[in-house]
Chains A and B, each alone.
Chain A
């Protein structure tokens, strides 16, 4: 990935050095500091960055929340969170981290709390040497995004974007809107206070090493790109499967979103754009994002009829996974008994580009599928003639390249090999690459990488306004079609199966099947 800023290019001492850098001093304000995301992801990521020497010593983390807490309360809360998985050196490292934690009480709708936050941050500049640099992380429910950003502006917590230093950056968690209209409205609210370069919209999938490796795989090798087009590729399947249901109290939130908003609009659109994009001119943030957004702009403009032909939505019914009985979606806690929300979506789409014309892209995601797995499968054309006898369906040579995003991160290429003996029969065999075995060093967690990038000012792995809106344009057409009078309700599939039969039918027209995962 590129250097985040232009500061290093003419420094001769940077030549041939790894690109890792320690970020500038800064204060990180966590809105939603007492929430689930902060405890599960953000605080552990910050701790691991500190543990790995990637946080500057002049860094303060400010928890902003409504509770009547002191700094010590926040420290005790995070210590409890971290001590479980903090590593053998936790007791050694924690005191340094704890001294950086500060609590700022306030509510999101109270401007006065933001003014006090400003005083607190200025105090931290003096006591912790944070040098005026600010990151505001909005790990809150999306209805608060606009209010918080407006108050950040009104309280003077955002610097003019032209100012090189000190700087202010705002990180916004997904979901960024509920449809195209709300995304545009939110973008308008954001742009009143912030310039695009100050905004970091997080899709944590982009922080995964294997997702970044899609670019390396495609553009760092010479053997794949020549065949990465309609002449050689028969179809592309993207699967994001989860075995979990609505455990952990997710039901009430999820029932307002469904798979289409929770997974397709963001993660799957990002995977699609990385697979289908043209080579960027370089790896700078804008060059990469320019190519990604072009893919999203070529997504079809669907009418309701197109949606009914190309999209299957479904809810799981009661079933069993790994020998345990699980309830159906409508019986889940927090889900309305008459809900039309779909925890499963399958989509067949075409990209109207020179490279991909005529190649179907099949996307599927669902909850309560047999296992958790995310992968991209490139399915190549069969050979034009059948010279050999093949096992299975009698057809040989449907080579597949599979990029596994999780688990068992890696890639495999399947091809045909002759079965030893006097016959001419072929059998599919696989060449397999696994990150965990080829590289002994475990990759950093997605949030670690992304938080570090925000501190370094590198927006490459964050979503730009036009990407968000282009994805929503496509998704909103589907949502609108589902709202039409007479739109068919979600079909069903038993929990623990690979989805409804209607989803299988989507592929039949192209003579294909979903991959068995």
Chain B
């Protein structure tokens, strides 16, 4: 192995390699790489090779390259062996491979932290070979995380095959634009008991802020008196509510034990859409509405939440709990409660939206056991089927 090859490897350039030679090639590349940048000194290496998990990234589509920076950022935050399965135009029944390193410097003076990335290219006639190519590359005794980024119905056999073996499945499908049927298959607990939607992890901060309203013991009971929920969202396609907003409604419904009623309805409005669903709570049937507007031109074309308003029937009248961004592109969220005894909460907090790499990294770091997600899943799927 030449120095130039090792250099290219460390700089993240893909080194083509025979599928059967991947492990031995990696060994050969890591050795000189470590020596070249300061070693060999076992006590003070200048490169640390880290593998906390096996991360298999499915990207069997034409737009594979777009995911590359996201994978790099995820691997930086969560060092793992990334095995990226990419689609290709190759009509041969074969899989080709390349290896590269993803390195970053955690702190000046500390060794570079490097993980390895193995890219497998599979053309349309080789998809059924992928599972057999991936399995030998999985490091033993480490969590196997499957990050699936295309409609699972397109390659259902492979999805089921890998999904059945993985310890965690992360479904990262477009929002908006993913049919409910794709999510139903992708989140099927019979395939993987720990399957999650990345959109769910975009909600964490909002969930914290909503929960915070009801932390004082005297307000636990308020939750049983909720009689309306309105969510305001932005979406590149405002004709339907984004999944992010659907999950928020489903989470509240699941945690508070609301029962689904009737059939949700989505209506166009002058500025976007209004999606309405009915639920049965302790006080009777009430409405949940998601109002969606178009993302302003100066903002990234991704869905986000603008506000959440919950009302409750209090002993002294209507109580209102509202979170909203002061402007669509603001990283802050304004907190306002119109209810007795509300003296504890700050008026504004910083709560920027998580970008895609952070959502994925958060999903990988989150607990495998997420009961709120499990409770929200059937409700979200029901809502999505009526979008």
Contact = CB atoms under 8 A, between A and B. Distances in A.
Given A53-B350, A437-B79, A437-B111, A16 B215 contact: no
A16 B373 CA distance: 9
Interface stretch (A54-62, A274-282, A490-498): A54-62
Contact of A129 (B215, B223, B347): B347
Among A20, A57, A58, A441, which residue has the most Cβ atoms of chain B within 10 A? A57
Interface stretch (B89-97, B227-235, B338-346): B338-346
Contacts of B225: none
Contacts of B346: 22-25, 56-59
Contacts of B79: 437-438, 440
Interface string B103-129: 010110011010000000000000000
Interface string B203-220: 010011011101111001
Nearest to B374: A16
B181 interface: no
A165 interface: yes
B349 A53 contact: yes
A53 B204 contact: no
A408 B217 contact: no
Interface stretch (A2-10, A357-365, A378-386, A444-452): A2-10
A58 B50 CA distance: 42
B351 interface: yes
Contact of A440 (B113, B210, B347, B367): B113
A421 interface: no
Q: How large is the interface on A (under 10, 10 to 19, 20 to 34, 35 or more residues)?
A: 35 or more
A440 B211 contact: no
Interface in A1-51: 6-8, 10-18, 20-25
Given A16-B367, A17-B204, A18-B204, A131 B343 contact: yes
A442 B76 CA distance: 12
B256 A14 contact: no
A24 B342 CA distance: 11
Interface residues of B, number: 44
B212 A21 contact: yes
B316 interface: no
Contact of A15 (B220, B345, B371): B371
B8 interface: no
A436 interface: yes
Nearest to A132: B343
A423 interface: no
Contacts of B255: 12-13, 15
A113 B369 CA distance: 54
A16 B50 contact: no
Interface in B249-280: 252, 255-256
B350 A13 contact: no
B314 interface: no
Contact of B77 (A6, A16, A440): A440
Among A16, A438, A441, which residue has the most Cβ atoms of chain B within 10 A? A16
Nearest to A13: B211
Interface of A: 6-8, 10-18, 20-25, 52-53, 56-59, 129, 131, 165, 408, 434, 436-438, 440-442
Given A13-B255, A25-B346, A58-B347, 4 more contacts: A16-B372, A24-B345, A24-B346, A434-B48
13 contacts: A12-B256, A13-B223, A13-B255, A15-B372, A18-B208, A23-B346, A24-B345, A436-B106, A436-B113, A437-B48, A437-B111, A440-B76, A440-B113
The 10 A-B pairs of least Cβ separation, nearest first, read A56-B346, A53-B350, A13-B211, A57-B348, A436-B106, A7-B215, A437-B113, A440-B77, A12-B255, A24-B344
